[in-house]
Amino acid sequence: MARIVTIFLFLSLLLGGCDTKEPQSSLQPVSHSVAKEGSQSKKDQPDGPSVSTEESAAAIQDEAEQQEPLGTSIDNSRRTAITNAVKKAGPAVVSITVTELQRGYKREFDAFFFRYFDVPIQREVQSVGSGFIISEDGLVVTNEHVASKNSKTIMVALSDGNQYEAKLIGSDELADLSLLQIESDDRKTFPHVNFADSDEIMVGEWTIAMGNPFGLFADGQPSVTVGVVSAKERDFRPDPQDPRVYVEMIQTDAAINRGNSGGPLVNSNGEVMGVNTFIFTGGTSNGFVGLGFAIPSNRVQKIIGQLKESGSVSLDYDPGMKFTPVTRNLIMKYPNIPRVLGLFVTEVNKSGPAYECGIMPGDVIVEIGEERVTSEMHAWALMREYKEGQDMELHLIRDGKTYKTSMTLRKRVQGR
């Protein structure tokens, strides 16, 4: 019996020793791993529940969101170069409403003659276009086909809702540009935009067309469409029926529609790259199909500078001659004039380029360059394509014979 009790006590001591050592050895690795991950050891931890690394990161994020509201961070992510450009240029974009007097006819029955007659009438017609302010004193640029010398009244509406009457300082049909002056009694300083250098335009860069398509400016804010520069230096030969000169035009796929004419084409810096002027529909419709064109800013500044100074635009050179179109009345007055479309030379300056290349009074110019002259306006449009220092080829008729000459263009020299 005593031997059995001794064996039992020995086993109890052995099993008890194993129980006391196993928890101690199993706790060591756990304590070591927590300290390795940067958490406080059990000795250094404050009283209370433990905090994991993920919970700490979440607490930091919550604190940051409390410092910056969620709406503010979203607004910041929505702002882009385009929205900043619109904010910068938008206040200077205006809507232009023009009233013109158009002449027409209506048929009236005359009881005395017992027949109908066409009676001339005049009626007021309103049209809507776009423009933009280029100076703090209220100078506005737009297209000539929006506001011209035929305009009876011109009203300019700003994006802030104010409306002002404007006067025409000058317009140029060939370049299709007009310069207006806002008339304000309070001498208000107007928001305005700056021009970009159109020679630095890159194909593929952002373009923003702003204006008043279809008269939607009534809510006080211009419409904004976005695209890219599709091409540069697109030339359109003067049309004898519409002799406006469209050269070095900017092509864009930013949507331009009726009413956008005269509005600015803006780059991502909020600067004016050009003046939105016309679209090419390809005969498919009257709406936008991805081909819009704007007059480049450098050309605009050149034309506007002359309009501001003198109200009209002149050539870079002086051809040294005066001419008039060949008309029926002119042929009846001078029977020897060839019965062709052309320019009848009436005066030649002896110190000018025309005299130097052999042109004489009485000659009829029928071609400028490779183009057949069909009217005086068409001739001026063709001559606009030449600059000082270039050579202009002319075809003329004298005494029934055709001659060809080359005129070197230069500034006028005062003759004797």
Mapped to the 3 state alphabet, what secondary structure does 240-263 carry? Answer: CCECCCEEEEEEECCCCCCCCCCC
Please state, rounded to an integer, the average pLDDT across all residues of the chain. Answer: 81
Share of the chain above pLDDT 90, in %: 44
- According to DSSP, residue 217 is labeled G
pLDDT, greater one: 170 or 110: 170
Percent of the chain with pLDDT over 70: 77
Q: Given this model, what pLDDT does residue 108 score?
A: 76
Structure tokens at 50: 């433990």
Q: Worst-scoring range by mean pLDDT, 135-144, 235-244, 361-370?
A: 235-244
Output phi, psi for 44, to 5 deg: -95, -10
Predicted confidence (pLDDT) at residue 242 exceeds the cutoff of 90? no
- Where in the sequence of the chain do the CATH 2.40.10.10 domains occur? 90-183, 198-310
Lowest mean pLDDT among 5-9, 101-105, 256-260, 360-364: 5-9
Which residues, at least 6 apart from 123, have a Cβ–Cβ distance to it below 8 Å? 101, 102, 104
Q: Which residues contact 193 (CB under 8 A, 6 or more apart)?
A: 88, 89, 92, 132, 133, 134, 264, 266, 270, 271, 272
Q: Can you give the C-alpha Rg of the chain in angstroms?
A: 40
Residue with the bigger pLDDT between 187 and 368: it is 368
Residue 20 has pLDDT above 90, yes or no: no
Best CA proximity match to 359, nearest among 383, 400, 393, 325: 393
Please, which pLDDT band fits residue 124 given cuts at 50, 70 and 90? Answer: confident
| Of 306, 253, 299, the residue nearest 275 (C-alpha) | 299
> Domain spanning 321-408 has what CATH number?
2.30.42.10
In this prediction, residues 213-239 reach a mean pLDDT of 84
Q: Which of 151, 223, 230, 261 is catalytic?
A: 261
- Which is catalytic among the residues 130, 145, 148, 159? 145
Predicted model pTM:
0.71
Looking at the predicted structure, is the pLDDT value of residue 67 above 80?
A: no
The pLDDT, as a whole number, for residue 96 is: 94
Query: Is a pLDDT exceeding 70 seen at residue 362?
Result: yes
CATH 2.30.42.10 domain residues, the chain? 321-408
303 touches 296 (CB < 8 A): no
Question: Residue 333: left (phi > 0), alpha (psi -120 to 50), or beta?
Answer: alpha
CA distance 118 to 108: 7
Output the CA angle 297-247-309, nearest 5 degrees. Answer: 50
What is the spatial distance between Cα 335 and Cα 340, in angstroms, rounded to a whole number?
A: 12
Q: Could you tell me if 118 and 81 are in contact, meaning their C-beta atoms sit under 8 angstroms apart? A: no
Q: How confident is the model at residue 314 (pLDDT cuts 50, 70, 90)?
A: confident
Catalytic annotation present for 184: no
**pLDDT in the model for residue 335:** 83
pLDDT at 170 over 90: yes
Q: Which CATH architecture does the domain made up of 198-310 adopt?
A: Beta Barrel (2.40)
Is there a catalytic annotation at residue 395?
no
CA angle centred on 229, ends 228 and 232, rounded to 5°: 170
Most confident of 76-80, 281-285, 334-338: 334-338
Residue in the block written with tokens 């305005």:
192
What pLDDT is attached to residue 59? 57
Catalytic entry in 148, 171, 176, 230: 176
pLDDT for 72 equals: 64
Place of tokens 């009209």: 312
C-alpha closest to that of 169 among 140, 131, 191? 140
Please name the amino acid found at residue 203.
Answer: V
Measure the CA–CA gap between 219 and 127, rounded to whole angstroms: 18
Torsion angle defined by CA atoms of residues 399, 401, 404 and 409, in that order, rounded to the nearest 10 degrees: 20
Average pLDDT over residues 203-214: 93
CB atoms within 10 A of CB 18: 8
> Residues 288-313: what's their mean pLDDT?
90
Total count of residues recorded for the chain: 416
Work out whether strand 321-325 and strand 264-266 pair parallel, antiparallel, or are unpaired.
unpaired
What was the pLDDT predicted at 282?
A: 66
Q: Which CATH superfamily is domain 90-183 in?
A: Trypsin-like serine proteases (2.40.10.10)
C-alpha span between 160 and 77 (Å, rounded): 27
What are the beta bridge partners of residue 274?
265, 296
- Smallest CA-to-CA distance from 201 within 248, 139, 149, 154 is with 248
Alpha-carbon torsion, ordered 174, 231, 209, 311, to 10 deg = -20
Phi first, then psi: what are they for 208, rounded to 5°?
-130, 115
